[in-house]
Amino acid sequence: MSIMSVKTVLQPKVAIVHDYLREYGGAERVLEALHEIYPEAPIYTAYLNLEGLGLHRERIKDWNIKTSWLQNLPLANYLISPLRILAPMIFEGFDLKEYDLVISSCNTYFSKAVITKPNSLHISYIHTPPRYLYGYATSFNYKKNPLTRILGEIANHFLRLYDFEVSERPDVLVANSKNVASRIQKFYRRDSVVIYPPVDIEKFKKAQTAARGDYFLSVGRLVRGKGVDIIVRACSELGVPLKVVGSGPELAVLRRLAGRSVEFIGSVADTDLPSFYANAQATIVASVDEDFGIVPVESMASGTPVIAFAGGGFLETVISGKTGEFFKEATAESLIRVLENFEGSRYESEDCQKQAEKFSEDIFKRQILKLVADHLKIN
């Protein structure tokens, strides 16, 4: 059934709920795709900071966004993390009684905790159970300070209990990868449907060039846990050209690690990003246990192979020897061993693009709409 025909048959009143909007990443790409499916649906979120969305804010500023009381607090942008103990109550405070369908986009801030009317359908798209609650690497390190470590561990104990409780509220849990589906089963004791995040494949395919350049590429937010330091160290030691696209709090640290072969590009517009991929010899990703990882898919859609850490969602997207290679340890030394033997000419652009097509926006939208249609029929 086509997207249009599904929309014609089903016209539920829809609300979309998202953790918060103060930066742009994979979760926000999913949110945009959900908004394209249901453009009239309001977006309920704990907090909105358009400036934090950078170049992406122009696409989002005119949405019907409804924020919580957190929005009105002085210094709210800096209080999101300390106030995470109150996050479940923030979402419980939204009045969603008028909606037949609620889709929550949940990562770190408990948007799945919303309370819906008994006969509504609540589908929660789980980007991951909160990483900070279950021992996965995060972009912040509260454990450095003894006081915040003690307070954080106490808070996290109660939040784990609450996270399990509110995970029972949605009617359907959707995982963004098989990797996350296994976490959902482990921590929530629930099955989930895997629907991979959407990537605008055609946009990146159009940028493909006849010959790749000589530089390697890193794309993403410059925060702890993304492994950009590993990439910078390895390329600096070998003296191979590396372009780093992205911005974030770790920029100063990374600059100190970088050799002369490393160039920091900063944030780039969506329209310019495909050319960076297309002209690279390969894109390198080094996050440990990445939930899914959109960057490798964007790179392959551009016809460019990927060098990835052998873990997490990367194992679901990159095909070793065909669309890229893996390094086995999350260290610069392990990456260096792969870089020393890497030859970009071994990889066919067509193979990369064919693999990327499995994660297209169209497939995402069709799967979401089919899931909604199937469950509304059941209800």
CB-side neighbour CA atoms (13 Å) of 200: 14
pLDDT value for 13 = 94
> Taking 70 as the threshold, does the pLDDT of residue 242 lie above it?
yes
- Give pLDDT tens digits for 247-300: 989 999 999 999 999 999 998 988 899 999 999 999 999 998 899 999 999 999
The span from the CA of 101 to the CA of 125, in Å, is: 13
The span from the CA of 250 to the CA of 177, in Å, is: 27
The span from the CA of 305 to the CA of 297, in Å, is: 9
Average pLDDT over residues 167-182: 97
Taking alpha carbons only, the member of 316, 310, 317 closest to residue 335 is 310
The span from the CA of 341 to the CA of 21, in Å, is: 41
> Taking 80 as the threshold, does the pLDDT of residue 211 lie above it?
no
> Whose structure tokens read 């990146």?
204
pLDDT value for 136 = 78
Average pLDDT over residues 295-312: 96
Q: Which of 76-85, 162-171, 177-186, 255-264 has the lowest mean pLDDT?
A: 76-85
pLDDT value for 261 = 97
Local structure of 145: helix, strand or coil: coil
Side-by-side strand order, sheet with 101-106: 65-67, 43-45, 14-18, 101-106, 121-126, 172-175, 193-194
Side-by-side strand order, sheet with 324-327: 262-266, 242-245, 216-219, 282-285, 306-309, 324-327
Domains of the chain by residue range: 3-198+360-378, 201-358
How does residue 353 score in pLDDT terms, banded at 50, 70 and 90? very high
Sign of CA dihedral 64, 65, 66, 72: negative
- Give pLDDT tens digits for 16-46: 999 999 988 889 999 999 999 999 999 999 9
> Taking 80 as the threshold, does the pLDDT of residue 138 lie above it?
no
Average pLDDT over residues 350-354: 96
> Taking 80 as the threshold, does the pLDDT of residue 323 lie above it?
yes
The span from the CA of 45 to the CA of 110, in Å, is: 10
The structural architecture, per CATH, of the domain 3-198+360-378 is 3-Layer(aba) Sandwich (3.40)
- Give pLDDT tens digits for 86-96: 999 999 999 99
Taking alpha carbons only, the member of 269, 317, 287 closest to residue 218 is 287
Average pLDDT over residues 197-224: 89
pTM, two decimal places = 0.88
User: What is the chain's percent helix, strand, coil content, to nearest 5?
Assistant: 45, 15, 40
How does residue 148 score in pLDDT terms, banded at 50, 70 and 90? low
pLDDT value for 3 = 47
The span from the CA of 10 to the CA of 379, in Å, is: 13
The span from the CA of 4 to the CA of 202, in Å, is: 20
| Cα 132-150-165 angle, rounded to 5 deg | 45
Sign of CA dihedral 87, 92, 95, 98: positive
Which CATH number is associated with domain 201-358? 3.40.50.2000
Tell me how far the alpha carbon of residue 2 is from its chain's centroid. 27
Domain 3-198+360-378 and domain 201-358 have a common topology = yes
Local structure of 292: helix, strand or coil: coil
The CA–CA distances, whole Å, from 318 to 29, 186, 348 equal 20, 25, 13
> Whose structure tokens read 């359908």?
121
> Taking 70 as the threshold, does the pLDDT of residue 379 lie above it?
no
